Structure 1
Amino acid sequence: MPPISLDEPTGRYLSFAEREEIALLRVQEIGVREIARRIGRDAGTISRELRRNAATRSGKSVYRALVAQWKAQQAAKRPKTAKLAGDDRLREYVQERLAGGVRRPDGTIVTGPKVPAWKGLNKPHRQDRRWATAWSPEQISHRLHADFPDDESMRISHEAIYQALFIQGRGALKRELVTCLRTGRALRTPRARSQNKPQGHVTADVVLSERPAEAGDRAVPGHWEGDLIIGTGRSAIGTLVERSSRSILLVHLPRLEGWGENPPVKNGPSLGGYGAIAMNAALMTSMTQLPEQLRKTLTWDRGKELSGHAQFALETGTKVFFADPHSPWQRPTNENTNGLLRQYFPKGTDLSRWSSTDLEAVAMAINNRPRKTLGWRTPAEVFEEQLRSLQQPGVATTG
């Protein structure tokens, strides 16, 4: 970057004349918003200027134009050493969270599926990416406050981590760690998402408007959202996520006997693994592992794979409701979770090759990552609290 000069006003940065005006108005005890109106700047700009560039040698914060101009010029000098490049301890922490292994409660490492080695290219759209814990930069940034509450040196913004990965010349982190990010892309570009959603026949008593009001309140556990992630060759994996704890269950849907050998039969059984009968059986296996109080409702997309929902509700006691057509925002937790899972199960790949053990390992990885919406706790921690509350004697539950 070329050096920035603050000697002459450019419009983007505060000039020395503006800083003198701020100092004079500040002496008169005029508020920040009024100062901003008088000099034609945003109130946030004035507030940041008073906080960053005030003189502090006397033991208290006093704004002086000359000192503020000198501080601004020092901060504008380039090139500047990246924080991760100059702090080995912080860099090791960030790299470990980006590429560290998943561990079971007893401390043993979950190896996970084997994937091809990274070759330095853009994300492989039709191959599996690196399997790792893969905390996001924002998760790492906020987790530092919990792990080092009294150490101000262990602080870094998520944007600084992204710049260390993506921007040439600020590469304090290993370049191949971009494959550990959820998107896996080497450039920061938006990704288009499909808008087509399958529909199925849904009766009036199982539409979303009939779902109990408590299901919309995340304070009450036991309400789930579900859907499929689809791969090539009619392969799929079922995803279930609990709305309160964001804990996920992955449903193994292996192909049935005869798939790929017999020609497809119109209106015949689906051999891909997610027909109505196979779907019901797999969902019941997953849901019945939970306590009855934690499987109250299930909100699904309008796919035909759950056309046997009445039998499923009868067997498990879990009431099934369907979102409105073309309305994925009515299942926001599941849609977000499916996006996270695409890090492990990329589009355009065969999902039938993953075993139930592999799916369990992936679910463990997601459930043990801190989430911003949970106050940087992990879904596993919140789910464990829910289980403990059910086991306490005398606790009232709503079935």
Structure 2
Amino acid sequence: MDFEVRDQSVVQIGRRLTREREAFLMLVGQGVSSREACRIVGVNVRTGKRWRNGSNPTAGRKGTPPITSAASSVVRGRFLNEDERIVIADRRRAGATLQQIAVELGRDRSTISRELRRNAHPVSGDYRPHAAQARARARRPRPKIGKIAANPSLRRAVQDGLNLRWSPQQIVARLRRDFPDRPELHVVHETIYQALYVQGRGELRRELASALRTGRALRRPRRHAGQRTPRMATPMVMISERPAEADDRAIPGHWEGDLIIGKDKKSAIATLVERTTRYVMLVHLPDGRTADVVRDAPIDTVQTLPAHLWRSLTWDQGTEMSGHATFTAATDIPVYFCDPHSPWQRGSNENTNGLLRQYFPKGTDLSVHSREHLDAVAVQLNGRPRETLGWDTPAERLTTLLTNTS
């Protein structure tokens, strides 16, 4: 593609901007995302969206319709081209299997299967390569006409439902139930939201948005992860900064911790699991699960094992560990925090919490369990043979560590 990325130091308009717009539309027509096409051409993402979707009129500016342009027949390597489609047609007539065709073309079998399913003749089912190429080229340009805009019957049904103050979920569910044999009336609820919120489409009247329960005419974006409100006064040390030796479990002393919560979230038990041996320790929390309690309660538990078996502690981002700095100062054990919504980063602890629910079912009051009972449960878990330990028990592995170091 013969064009230059715009020099940010010299902003030009006119013919140069026209070339960039044509290049942007060609990339989008080839299946490139709008954001990536903007990056390649060198324009702002908002500009690309305005070219692609148009804009609504404002007090100081007229609205603009979406800009369309015929997509170039030149496609990227990830798309089948006309020569490949001719090979597919010839080999299918010769009786070759999908796998054989895929191997000959250097493509995945699913690519060949999808091509035959999507671009064969809709009535006869015959695969004609030139017609298939035309169908693929016609399907590729963006923006596409939405299903609601293309079907007056569907548009009327959706508008009637919104006028009755039905939610989009209710509308699509009734359409599927009332018209099971008319797939042209079947959509997902996101299609309705897109028709209401996305500017420039005009598929549904804008005033219908007021019939939604939110009453919003524009979609409110969710806050990005980088804009999360800090949950702790002392900055967290993330798991990415944890020593690499903790990842392969070769060196013992790296622990994972969490809470299991009782009825009405009023009681809890702290669980600690050693990553190498899977050894479990349960911390009694009879006085609740406030930050001060969770900070102080494990300190006595930590002192029951030698210092070299406490190298780090990994926790989720629960506010109960907001006193992590004080805990580290008292025990000399650094605390690392998992990324948001990433429970697999504490896989051993998550698995152990699942096992503990056999002893402490969900929805029960955990404050009724004494420290002695928690110790007895921990003894049972540490006495279970584990396949990941070669059918040793966590207690046996810990005993071996203590014997070797002594």
State the structure with more CA Rg: 2
Higher helix share: 2
Higher relative contact order (CA 8 A, sep 6+): 1
TM-score, normalization by structure 1: 0.43
TM-score (norm 2): 0.42
